[in-house]
Amino acid sequence: MNWSLVPTDDEPDTPAPSYAFRCSALDDNDKECGAESGPTTDREAARKWAWDHWESTNKDHCAFSEWVTRSWGMHQDGPA
């Protein structure tokens, strides 16, 4: 059998993807801010957190990383 690793978004009982943002702006000592939005299934809410963080730092923190978590599974493709 051949196997493939595929997203399982269309399968029943698959959790919704989650999104989180982390501030990667550096301070004067090259230390990363590290503030995080926390995971949410609402991507726009995670993006809003990044905008709000940027605003709350007087537009000084302008570098972010996005983490996306989604389900994947191994599926059989048929005979080798």
Model confidence over 12-53: pLDDT tens digits? 899 999 999 999 999 888 999 999 999 999 999 999 999 999
Domain count, the chain: 1
- 10 in a structural domain: no
Q: Report pTM.
A: 0.78
Q: What is the pLDDT of residue 28?
A: 83
- 63 in a structural domain: yes
- 40 in a structural domain: yes
Q: Length of the chain, please? A: 80
List, in order, residues 6 or more apart from 77 with CB less than 8 Å away: 1, 2, 3, 4
- 2 in a structural domain: no
- 55 in a structural domain: yes
Q: What is the pLDDT of residue 29?
A: 87
Q: What is the pLDDT of residue 79?
A: 58
Q: What is the pLDDT of residue 77?
A: 83
- 59 in a structural domain: yes
- 32 in a structural domain: yes
- 6 in a structural domain: no
Q: What is the pLDDT of residue 78?
A: 60
Range of the domain at 29: 19-71
